């Protein structure tokens, strides 16, 4: 019983966190439930019961989650039910999005750094204010190291799945 209470609290906590990814509260709770259910899958009826929501509401959110490649389903021979699971590629897709965002940000900060360097060269001539480039350098290093770590983890995940 204690484990079930812990599970319900975790679904709620994870759901609140996932709402930050522009998900409706119920869609976030569906995703949380599927994350905590693993590869066994969860039926539509189980989601309705677990989340105490209307069938049409659960259905709309499941459609949205499938359309956005967050959720997939499978069937079992002789069983008419669909078992919903997290899309196996979800974490890889999230990683790709993060890497792309960081690469774009890195390119922008490289331009900012060059602009500030040019400003500093001009300021040297007149003795006026110069930019401190330490933050730019540290932030570029952070973006590079973070991207590299995520790429390494992605490679590890891909090699496990093959």
Q: What is the mean pLDDT of residues 139-147?
A: 96
- Same domain, yes or no, for 14 and 73? yes
Tally Cβ neighbours within 10 Å of residue 53: 17
Number of domains in the chain: 2
- Same domain, yes or no, for 63 and 6? yes
DSSP character string of 57-96: HHHHHHHHHHHTTSEEEEEETTEEEEEEEE-TTHHHHHHH
User: How confident is the model at residue 128, as a pLDDT?
Assistant: 86
Q: Specify which residues 31 forms β-bridges with.
A: none
Find the helix or strand (DSSP H, E) in which 132 lies: none
- Same domain, yes or no, for 8 and 79? yes
pLDDT band at 127 (very low <50, low <70, confident <90, very high): confident
- Same domain, yes or no, for 79 and 106? no
Q: What is the mean pLDDT of residues 138-162?
A: 92
Show which of 25, 56, 86 is a domain's final residue. Answer: 86
Find how far residue 146's CA is from the centre of its chain.
15
Structural contact between residues 98 and 57, judged by C-beta atoms closer than 8 angstroms: no
Instruction: For 66-118, write each residue's pLDDT tens digit.
Output: 999 999 999 999 999 999 999 989 999 999 999 999 999 999 999 999 999 99
User: How confident is the model at residue 75, as a pLDDT?
Assistant: 94
Show which of 36, 52, 86 is a domain's final residue. Answer: 86
Instruction: For 8-54, write each residue's pLDDT tens digit.
Output: 999 999 999 999 989 999 999 999 999 999 889 999 999 999 999 99
User: What is the pairing mode between strands 79-86 and 42-43?
Assistant: antiparallel
- Same domain, yes or no, for 25 and 78? yes
Structural contact between residues 64 and 57, judged by C-beta atoms closer than 8 angstroms: no
| CATH number of the domain to which 61 belongs | 1.10.10.10
Domain span at residue 98 reads 90-161
- Same domain, yes or no, for 77 and 101? no
User: How confident is the model at residue 141, as a pLDDT?
Assistant: 96
User: How confident is the model at residue 39, as a pLDDT?
Assistant: 86
Show which of 86, 118, 134 is a domain's final residue. Answer: 86
- Same domain, yes or no, for 103 and 70? no
> Does position 162 have pLDDT exceeding 90, yes or no?
no
């Amino acid at each position: 019983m204690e484990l079930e209470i812990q599970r319900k609290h975790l679904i709620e906590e994870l759901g609140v966190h996932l709402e930050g990814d522009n998900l409706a509260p119920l869609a976030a709770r569906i995703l949380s439930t599927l994350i905590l259910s693993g590869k066994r899958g969860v039926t539509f009826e189980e989601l309705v019961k677990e989340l105490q929501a209307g069938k049409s509401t659960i259905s709309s959110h499941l459609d949205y989650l499938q359309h956005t490649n967050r959720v997939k389903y499978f069937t079992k021979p002789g069983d008419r039910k669909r078992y919903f699971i997290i899309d196996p590629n979800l974490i890889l897709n999230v990683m790709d999005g993060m890497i792309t965002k960081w690469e774009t940000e890195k390119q922008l900060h490289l331009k900012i750094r060059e602009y500030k360097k040019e400003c500093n060269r001009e300021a040297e001539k007149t003795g006026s204010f110069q930019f401190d480039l330490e933050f730019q350098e540290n932030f570029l290093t952070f973006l590079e190291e973070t991207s590299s770590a995520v790429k390494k983890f992605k490679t590890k995940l891909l090699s496990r799945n093959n």
